[in-house]
Amino acid sequence: MQTRRAYLKNLAALAASPLLAQTAEELFRRNIGSPDQFNKAFPPHKVIGDIYYVGSESLASFLFVTPEGNILLNSCFEATVPVIRGSVEKLGFKFSDTKILLGSHAHGDHMEGDALVKELTGARVMAMEQDVPALMKIRPGGKPHPIDQTLHDGDEVKLGSTTLVAHLTPGHTRGCTTWSTKAEENGKTYDVVVIGSMGVNPGFVLVNNKDVPDIADEYKRGFKVLKSLACDVPLGSHPAMYNMQAKYAKLGKGPNPFIDPEGYKHEVDVEEHAFQEVLAQQKKAASA
């Protein structure tokens, strides 16, 4: 069992890896932020429609509010759960109204808190099939990881008037999940996409990977899926993936800054370029 301290220590060690091209390393550092940002509350706010941000400065968590209860996407670290709960309550909602808990991918900084959220709310925990083996290894304090329903590519999660569609975008993890939904604002309907992650973290092996021989092809499949999705409002498992802080500063000063279709395309392009750069680098090293 890997403790949170060990996880953070490994992140710091991996960040120095020479395997990663500079652009990919920069993306990793941009996304993960600093340890003091993991559990530092960011002002909770409405993104669009009935979608709210309730995460920390560097770990994204979203609340989808419906008349039948709410859906929470990403519990983050177990230590982040009180931050998320506080943000939900600051917005005037009850944490106990969380009926469904979803996740982006099976890494501790996104789904370690699942057991605690379930304990506090009784929410049904759902996860992509390919991520289940990895999730079973995330056991903070020895607690078993709860999974009430296994999801598959294209499955719809419905609650009240909200429907979230699960898209398998593998690579970062085997079951990395990008979520899409619709949101209404000022009489218009917008396509919202929460990118699971397509980052190539330091230490990721894309060539001759014994555990996942086809990992490079899985990444390519993930990018193909992302490019096929219509997106007006890009979101992500880390707020830096959609430039949250800068957009938040513009709230109430004009059009909704989170409506940013070009930003979505740019993020996908940047992540794919970093992947291709690392893949080429590792192929060259392997052939040598």
Domains of the chain plus CATH, in order, are 4-287 (3.60.15.10)
Query: 222 pLDDT band (50/70/90 cuts)?
Result: very high
Alpha-helix residue ranges (DSSP H) falling in 241-260: 244-248
Residue 159 belongs to what H/E stretch? strand 156-159
What is the pLDDT, as a whole number, of residue 89? 98
Query: 216 pLDDT band (50/70/90 cuts)?
Result: very high
What is the pLDDT, as a whole number, of residue 18? 40
Quick one: average pLDDT of 119-148? 97
Return the C-alpha torsion angle 10, 62, 226, 103, nearest 10.
50
Question: What type of residue sits at position 46?
Answer: K
- pTM for the model: 0.92
Residue range 6-15, pLDDT digits in tens: 544 444 443 3
Q: Higher pLDDT residue, 19 or 107? A: 107
User: How far apart, in whole angstroms, are the C-alpha atoms of residue 201 and residue 194?
Assistant: 19
- Angle at which helices 261-287 and 215-228 cross, to 10°: 160
34 burial (CB, 10 Å; 0-12 / 13-18 / 19+) is exposed
What is the pLDDT, as a whole number, of residue 11? 44
Task: Please determine, for residue 190, whether its predicted confidence score (pLDDT) is greater than 90.
Answer: yes
